Amino acid sequence: MMRDNIEKKYGGIDIIEFYYKEGIKKKKAIPKETFYDRFLKIGDLIMISKPYERKLDAKKYKISLYELLKDVDYEEVFGINISPKRKKEIYYNNLSFKNFTIGDIVLATSPGFHIQGAIRHAAIFDSRRYHGSVDDECLLTAEPNKGVIYESIRFYHENFGEAWGLYVPNTTLQQRIAVVDELTKHLGERYYWSAHKNNPKAWYCSLVPWRGYYNITGIDIDYNDGYWVLPIDIFMSEYTEVFEYSRG
């Protein structure tokens, strides 16, 4: 009996449950093109989130990159810190984690211009820390002034108007466990938004899932192989699939 129980688990993960949820995710796959009209395009490049309720006034975006960036609060870049000078808008979503398995990726955003691109925040899911509560701190990411940390599901539900669940289908359970285990070794390491993505001593939110998959599996989930890996790059990657979505 003890041996049977051991064989049903690997690295603390129920093997049968893992593959059952993988099957559900394949059936629930959502084409990424479904969401393209949620993002503003400059030329052929998806750049920033569209406002939710009002029609897009394209003219206001016909300005120089300098004009777009000069008033940016750089503490928000590749994180979600809200400037005390700016009134915080209230956003929410109800992304379900019912079918998430270890190594899945959460992307989240709110309306308006973000230097991070069309999607604002990213994290990777550690199912071993999830026990069914929105207060479970099971999402590995990086934040300004905090470095690499675990955040709660509630944080994502109450701070973002849209959220997506993605997975990397061509990876095994063993690989996904290894990805998360490797990332946990870096808890507390520093946050530095302007670091090159190959700088091993610095982190920002979307660098966490990208580096985990790249270092362990060799899979590059950066869509355009740029200086940074942005949350939108992970969304657009040919190696990721969307299986969950919620909009407040």
In order of their start, the domains of the chain are: 2-247 (3.90.1720.10)
pLDDT reported for residue 68: 44
Question: Which residue has tokens 């590059």?
Answer: 220
Q: What is the pLDDT along the chain (248 residues), one digit of tens a residue?
A: 445 555 689 999 999 999 999 999 999 999 999 988 877 666 666 665 554 434 434 334 333 344 444 454 444 444 444 445 555 567 899 999 999 999 999 999 987 666 667 889 999 999 999 999 999 999 999 999 999 999 999 999 999 999 999 999 999 999 999 999 999 999 999 999 888 899 998 999 999 999 999 999 999 999 888 888 989 899 999 999 999 999 98
